[in-house]
Amino acid sequence: MAEAQPDPQLGRAARRLMRRQQHAALGTVMDAAPYVSLVLAAFEFDATPLLLLSDLAQHTRNLAGEPRVSLLFDGTAEYPDPLAGPRLTVLGRAERVDDPDRLGRFTARHPSSAAYAGFGDFHLYRVAAERGHLVAGFGRIDWIEGSELRFADPAPSLAAAADDIVAHMNNDHAEAVTLYANRLLGRGGDGWRLTGIDPEGIDLRLEGKTARLDFDRPVLTPAAARAALVALVQQARDQEDR
């Protein structure tokens, strides 16, 4: 019997769900029992989750004895019946990383964390996903291998230019960023800002509100990112004119 082939659409759906969430439920092991806590989450370019944890927190002490974790990303907030909404459990191992670029992605996504990110007792962890359990609604349940949860192309040139792209859009095209939020995502308010870009979309923030805008197709270079962002502006203006 032929082995079932991975469905790339499942991995894409799981990444879209993850990248839209600002926080997750973190499950660690404490005295051979599950311990669950709330954590802020950011993501590497390939959608690997990033967590900024205090050494004093119970979940961090748990990781010192057992690095295996689970993360629940809950996309059910807008559903009258939460069990009809999507959620994803990621199983993997938490690994401490000392990387200014990754930390910068985290603090850009969560500006309030910049106040304590430099403290000696706070450290960044990446969760190397081994499997994911995606529940997309009633009867729509799939296991996804870790390799499928990660975006395959590291897009090094886009990663190197990401900070400059975000700064350029915020400083020189702030009106376009607000158009993205207002017209393409139906989010109100003026003064939206980009907080990040990756091959699959952009992240936006206005004070305590956040939003995610996915690209129609992967963007792997700065030139492709510029073309995609310009096309989104035109799409937003077309909607404005209707």
- Residues 25 and 109 grouped into a single domain: yes
Express each pLDDT in 100-145 by its tens digit: 999 999 999 999 999 999 999 999 999 999 999 999 877 789 999 9
pLDDT at position 138 is 73
- pLDDT tens digits along 181-190: 999 999 999 9
Indicate which CATH number applies to the domain containing 110: 2.30.110.10
Same domain, 214 and 99: no
Structural domain that includes position 229: 156-241
In a domain, 29, yes or no: yes
pLDDT computed for residue 218 by the predictor: 96
Are 127 and 48 within 8 A, CB to CB? yes
Residue where one domain finishes, among candidates 149, 168, 195: 149
Are residues 163 and 218 both part of a single domain? yes
Q: Please list the ranges in the chain whose pLDDT falls under 70.
A: 1-6, 240-242
Distance CA 215, CA 237 (A): 17
Q: pTM for this one?
A: 0.93
All residues at 6 or more sequence positions from 205 whose CB lies less than 8 Å from its CB, including other chains: 109, 111, 192, 193, 195, 211
Total domains present in the chain: 2
